[in-house]
Amino acid sequence: MTPAIDIRGAWRIYETAAGYTPALRGVSLTVARGEFLAIMGPSGSGKSTLMNILGCLDRPTAGTYLLEGIDVTELSEDDLAHVRASRLGFVFQSFNLLPRATVLRNVMLPLVYSDLPPRDRELAAWRALRSVGLPEEHYLHRSNELSGGQMQRVAIARALVNDPAIIFADEPTGNLDTATGEMVMRTFRRMQARGKTIVLITHDADVAAWADRTVHIRDGKLFSDEEERRYLADLATRDAAAATENDGAPGSANETTSLSPAAPGPSARRALLLGVPAL
């Protein structure tokens, strides 16, 4: 079966006043249909850049991206907009709801430019809200009258109202307490059980544990769980060795002068492990 996502050798390079900065460095990733994938990475690792490309909000500088077998790098802007509207759903950390609009109206928004008559749009929104477990008594409330967990459920319903094949969630539990975050993750699991492909970005290992598989991104490169563990263990070993060398080096607490060069800093050691220049 054709994968939901198949990205190969993707680079994303930004031009800044300081020169060219690579945010993604030859990323390759395959996501099966119906899979729940988590992408973990620290701030500045490239995970948001990767999400933007996977969600057809940006294009790679180089490489190919096959979405359900279609090379989206060759599509026009109008075609990309149609793909986003018909095949993809997005859930964000900050909910992005209209605060003074009702819950039902917020969920209906993606259908405004569809050919559906108003009654059918309302019915589709009602079904999406039912699918995420939000009680009907909240449907006519304004979104700013809801709790954080309820607002995120509304945001998930809005992502589902077009019946997308793939849902992208960017730190969807970041503004929620633990119990509410678990409730949201159970909702994603129910969506997966109905055949949806879920791609989740998070920095939280407990949230990533809900997924079928986790990949890690650092300095624009992807690592499997096993590669990430080896990377961290190797980095810790190098840090310990550098600290030991510094303890006995001239200029330490027992010495007053030093002519020896300083040990490489963390960014240089990380660059050595990744095989890329230190930025």
Looking at residues 162-178, what average pLDDT do you find? 91
Assess if residue 6 is contained within a domain.
no
Q: How many domains does the chain have?
A: 2
pLDDT at 259 over 60: no
Query: Are 113 and 178 found together in one domain?
Result: yes
Assess if residue 62 is contained within a domain.
no
Query: Are 171 and 269 found together in one domain?
Result: no
Predicted local distance difference test score (pLDDT) of residue 179: 87
Query: Are 88 and 157 found together in one domain?
Result: yes
Predicted local distance difference test score (pLDDT) of residue 151: 93
On whether the CB atoms of residues 266 and 249 are closer than 8 A, the answer is: no
Looking at residues 172-201, what average pLDDT do you find? 91
Query: Are 101 and 129 found together in one domain?
Result: yes
Query: Are 181 and 239 found together in one domain?
Result: no
Assess if residue 68 is contained within a domain.
no
Question: Which residue in 131, 130, 154, 157 sits closest to 142, CA to CA?
Answer: 154
Task: List the CATH number of the domain containing 195.
Answer: 3.40.50.300
Predicted local distance difference test score (pLDDT) of residue 70: 94
Predicted local distance difference test score (pLDDT) of residue 266: 53
* Type of residue at 258: S
pLDDT at 52 over 80: yes
Assess if residue 16 is contained within a domain.
no
Q: How many CA atoms are closer than 13 Å to the CA of 240, on its beta-carbon side?
A: 6
Residue-wise pLDDT tens digits, 18-28: 899 999 999 99
Looking at residues 47-63, what average pLDDT do you find? 94
Query: Are 105 and 230 found together in one domain?
Result: no
Query: Are 196 and 151 found together in one domain?
Result: yes
Assess if residue 182 is contained within a domain.
yes
CA end-to-end span of the chain, whole Å? Answer: 40
Radius of gyration of the chain (CA): 23
Assess if residue 239 is contained within a domain.
yes
Question: Which residue in 254, 259, 278, 276 sits closest to 268, CA to CA?
Answer: 278
Residue 273: which domain range? 226-246+262-279
Query: Are 155 and 232 found together in one domain?
Result: no
Predicted local distance difference test score (pLDDT) of residue 256: 46
pLDDT at 236 over 90: no
Assess if residue 158 is contained within a domain.
yes
Other C-beta atoms within 10 Å of 17: how many? 4
> Which pLDDT band holds residue 126 (cuts at 50, 70, 90)?
very high
Query: Are 92 and 191 found together in one domain?
Result: yes
Highest-confidence range of 15-19, 22-26, 109-113, 233-237, by mean pLDDT? 22-26
Q: What is the model's pTM?
A: 0.79
Predicted local distance difference test score (pLDDT) of residue 261: 47
Question: What is Dmax (Cα atoms) for the chain?
Answer: 81
Tell me the average pLDDT of the chain: 87
Question: Which residue in 189, 131, 140 sits closest to 160, CA to CA?
Answer: 131
66-80, 131-145, 209-223, 261-275: lowest mean pLDDT where? 261-275
Query: Are 84 and 213 found together in one domain?
Result: yes
Assess if residue 240 is contained within a domain.
yes
Predicted local distance difference test score (pLDDT) of residue 229: 79
* Cβ-Cβ contacts under 8 Å for 273 (sequence gap 6 or more): 231, 234, 235, 238
Query: Are 176 and 200 found together in one domain?
Result: yes
Query: Are 183 and 126 found together in one domain?
Result: yes
